Chains A and B, each alone.
Chain A
Amino acid sequence: DIQMTQSPSSLSAAVGDRVTITCRASQSISNNLSWYQQKPGKVPELLIYAASSLQSGVPSRISGSGSETDFTLTISSLQPEDSAIYFCQQTYRPSFTFGPGTRVDIK
């Protein structure tokens, strides 16, 4: 299976800060990468698909980039409601593995 890693595992940032999370695949996955946000006790929500496409309804301060093995999720101006865990997921067949998650806290 393709292994996914994320860094950092957690971060704390102030409202208005620019936040970047990285996700790395153990082999090339082209642009088959999605990002999800999960708040405590809630169902995950899709943020980004195909590495850089913004899911409908997701704020434009969130963006994704990357290809092959290295990907990033950026929040351009952190808001209080962005406090959550963020997971990347590769969907390059046959198995669709998730990263371990990055916890984002607000200072």
Chain B
Amino acid sequence: QVQLVQSGAEVKKPGASVKVSCKASGYTFTDYYIHWVRQAPGQRLDWVGWINPKSGDTNYAQRLQGRVTMTRDTSISTAYLELNRLRSDDTVVFYCVRDLGGNSGHALAYWGQGTLVTVSS
């Protein structure tokens, strides 16, 4: 079955960077886009961007352009999200999500367990 397993919780200081990993299994990694979504406590879901694992092409939410980088390592079926210049309002749970694919219009079908990133001085 499709599984996405994310790295563990992180605590960072303002201005630092964080890198979250997402290891995929149960399907061919390069066949489906991986999206990243974040959620602050009690808040709405916030789409961060996607990466095409086959080509490495990325598409980021405009408000995070310049601070976010998505990469992947196809040899170990793992996607990565790096966010730089962390601020206190970057205290969120990050989810990696596999695209449903096909004619779903990029619906977010398979979710990782989430990674809490806490930014605090």
Contact = CB atoms under 8 A, between A and B. Distances in A.
A94 B104 CA distance: 16
Contacts of A101: 44-45
A34 interface: yes
A52 B108 CA distance: 15
B62 A1 contact: yes
A89 B97 CA distance: 14
B66 interface: no
Main secondary structure of the interface of A (DSSP, over half): loop
A87 B45 contact: yes
Interface residues of A, number: 27
Interface in A10-48: 31-34, 36, 38, 43-46
B109 interface: yes
A53 interface: yes
B104 A49 contact: yes
A106 interface: no
Contacts, number: 69
Interface residues of B, number: 23
Given A93-B59, A95-B61, A31 B105 contact: yes
Contacts of A44: 37, 45, 95, 108, 111
A99 B112 CA distance: 21
Contacts of A31: 105
Interface in B88-121: 95, 100, 103-109, 111-114
Given A33-B105, A49-B105, A94-B62, 10 more contacts: A1-B61, A44-B111, A49-B107, A89-B45, A89-B47, A91-B105, A91-B107, A97-B47, A99-B44, A101-B45
